[in-house]
Amino acid sequence: MAMKNKTYATILLAVYAVVATVHVAADLQRFDHLPTKADGSLDILVVGDWGRRGLYNQSNVAHQMGKIGENLDVDFIVSTGDNFYEDGLIDEEDSLFYESFTQVYTATSLQKQWYSVLGNHDYRGNVLAQLSPVLTQKDSKWLCLRSFIVNSGIVEFFFIDTTPFQDKYFTETDHKYDWRGVLPREEYLSNVLKEVDMALEESIATWKIVIGHHTIFSAGSHGNTQELIDQLLPILEAKEVDLYINGHDHCLQHISSQNSQLQFLTSGGGSKAWRGEVNQWNPTEMKFYYDGQGFMTLRVTEGDISVAFYDVFGEIIHTWSNTKYTHMDS
């Protein structure tokens, strides 16, 4: 009998341990994706606002991503969201997944892991379907989550679910959004902010990059996102984040900050672009604005980070780089 009690106690302890682990791990899911090249560098592609069955130059952008991706031997691909137009996916069987993703990004170099966030258009469909592991079974390169971390050693990527931050989606009547898993909203948002803040605080990576669908600053047609300026930007500045990368405005854009080292990069040129709408911006901050299609590359080493924007012909149309002498610090 005593033996039996002891067994029960052990089982109970084990159950508690599992519950405790799940609770801690529930903070932000973390993936390790370390560089594999001999020189330790990491190369990635970033594309946003793309899923339109190959139309609006999506296929041409995909083709160039394939070529550049092969030249650079990219480690993985990041999607800044608005993965499936106009209204996300209907369910896990939605053929749009094949027509706008699997059948478009066919180059060998693009058969790497994709890390995707959700955009506002994705929230107009069945969000749980887009987040479902069933899609990863259909196409193993697919992974879309709400907020999560990819740790690449020298650089850490913090992906943030930005759609629930924007007030207007909660009052808009002409579109329906799938808020399952997001309500109560205030609790959801404060958890995201707290988790990202903590994860940035604990990060020991040389380079910290935050990725979300929505703009913080942008001269494009959507413009700035005030909710993110108010709630997210102070955290990014306090934690000395290097880059904020987003989509949402269908353009390629680079804005630098006068208050910090933070650079604002928009890679939202995955398909439909050419809105022809550019707002006035302080020329010392506006480093680059291109209203057409294309994508971005990012190369990170222990001491250097560099960004390049490519157009639909595979031409480099803007570059930026920065250096950190990490070993000379302190």
Ligand X SMILES: *[C@@H]1O[C@H](CO)[C@@H](O)[C@H](O)[C@H]1NC(C)=O
DSSP H or E stretch at residue 149: strand 148-151
d(CA 61, CA 269): 8
Residues annotated catalytic, as ranges: 222
Which residues does residue 234 pair with via DSSP β-bridges, in sequence order?
A: none
- Contacts with ligand X by CB under 6 A: the residue count is 6
- Tokens matching residue 140: 């193993």
Does position 85 interact with ligand X (CB under 6 A)? The reply is no
Which residue in 8, 16, 170, 274 binds ligand X (CB under 6 A)?
274
d(CA 8, CA 58): 58
State the nearest-atom distance from the C-beta of 45 to ligand X, in Å: 18
Report the candidate in 294, 219, 325, 220 with the shortest Cα–Cα distance to residue 56: 294
Laid out side by side, the sheet with 113-116 consists of 113-116, 76-79, 42-47, 294-300, 304-311, 316-323
Which residue in 46, 54, 56, 218 binds ligand X (CB under 6 A)?
56
Per-residue binder mask for ligand X (CB under 6 A), 292-321, x = binder: xx------------------x---------
State the nearest-atom distance from the C-beta of 66 to ligand X, in Å: 17
Per-residue binder mask for ligand X (CB under 6 A), 57-76, x = binder: x-------------------
d(CA 63, CA 91): 28
State the nearest-atom distance from the C-beta of 82 to ligand X, in Å: 16
Q: Judging by beta carbons within 10 Å of its beta carbon (0-12, 13-18, 19+), is residue 168 exposed, middle or buried?
A: exposed
State the nearest-atom distance from the C-beta of 111 to ligand X, in Å: 25
Closer by beta carbon to ligand X, 130 or else 267: 267
Amino acid letter, residue 103: Q
d(CA 312, CA 62): 9
Instruction: Report the residue number whose CB is nearest to ligand X.
Output: 57
Closer by beta carbon to ligand X, 64 or else 246: 64
DSSP letters spanning 178-197: --TTT-SHHHHHHHHHHHHH
Closer by beta carbon to ligand X, 42 or else 296: 296
State the nearest-atom distance from the C-beta of 248 to ligand X, in Å: 18
- List residues near ligand X by CB under 6 A: 56-57, 274, 292-293, 312
